[in-house]
Amino acid sequence: LENQTIPLKDLEKKIAAEEAVKYIKDNTIVGLGTGSTAYYAILAIADLVKNGLNIQGVPTSEKTASLALSLGIKLIDLKEVDAIDVTIDGADEFTSDLNLIKGGGGALFREKIVASLTKTEIIIADSAKKVDRLGKFKIPVEVEPLAYNYVNQQIIKLSGKGALRKNGEEIYLTDNHNYIIDADFGLIDEPEVLSGSLNQIEGVLAHGLFINLTSIVIMGKGQEILTFNKS
Ligand code: 5RP
């Protein structure tokens, strides 16, 4: 895509993605994110592969897996990797201390496992994703369907409000056939504490607070690229 023909938000995503792929080295394992920002990274990685780069991609969703395969990127199953060199993924919100909310696209469980196995987790974002405090975006919580009512009650006990994610009339199902509760806790003072509390609820498989998992955020702002590192 030529840069002149795409909307500003997409341009920001694209330039961030093109900067991020510079961190990928030959003969490495690369985590492939999910969403409209990660999409640009996958396109850029496919270009590098066409030019001879040898990598194995670990997809964070079925959608990403089929996109990557259609573009000629070799894949390796998450079950078969014990470390990932670099992952490039998007986020719904990030703060300058590199904590995130992810999972708007529903891929949070695999994204979190991939991020946890990753040496250098790079988040790419347009400028609307940077916030002073996390929490305007509701926190996706992936739950085993049988645990739905229980988890919802526990979210209320933590002073949150949960809404079961729907896809039209149908209940939304993740790639792992689970439900997502989008939980509203308002603006969050202590994301680490809330993350710990959510982790302790039986039936929660993953939630969208990504704490201390990110090495670098690369954000497009207009034509500029801003990089945020772990301080
Ligand atoms: C998917 C995610 C995405 O990275 C997040 O929702 C951002 O998506 P987009 O790049 O389309 O704004 O976490 O589960």
- pLDDT, one tens digit per residue, over 82-122 is 999 999 999 999 999 999 999 999 999 999 999 999 999 99
Q: Which of 34, 108, 109 to mutate to test the pocket of ligand 1 (most atoms within 8 A of CB)?
A: 34
Ligand 1 atom showing the smallest separation from residue 140 Cα: 14
The pTM assigned to this predicted structure is 0.97
Residue 169's CB is within 10 A of a number of other CB atoms, namely: 5
pLDDT of residue 5: 82
Q: Is the CB of 57 under 6 A from ligand 1?
A: no
Ligand 1 atom showing the smallest separation from residue 102 Cα: 13
Active-site residue set: 111
Residue 113's CB is within 10 A of a number of other CB atoms, namely: 17
Q: Is the CB of 89 under 6 A from ligand 1?
A: yes
> Mean of the per-residue pLDDT values for the chain?
97
pLDDT of residue 2: 63
Which one-letter amino acid corresponds to residue 195?
Answer: S
Q: Is the pLDDT of residue 1 over 80?
A: no
Q: Is the pLDDT of residue 34 over 70?
A: yes
Q: Which residues pair with 31 in a beta bridge?
A: 58, 87
Distance CA 170, CA 168 (A): 6
Which of 101, 128, 131, 110 has the alpha carbon at shortest distance from 198?
A: 101
The pLDDT-based confidence of 230 (bands split at 50, 70, 90) is: confident
Contact 226, 98 (CB under 8 A): no
Q: Is the CB of 108 under 6 A from ligand 1?
A: yes
Contacts of 198 (CB under 8 A, 6+ apart): 139, 141, 158, 204, 207, 209
Q: What value does the mean pLDDT take over residues 158-186? A: 98
**Ligand 1 centroid, distance to 33 Cα (angstroms):** 8
**Ligand 1 centroid, distance to 209 Cα (angstroms):** 13
Q: Is the pLDDT of residue 3 over 80?
A: no
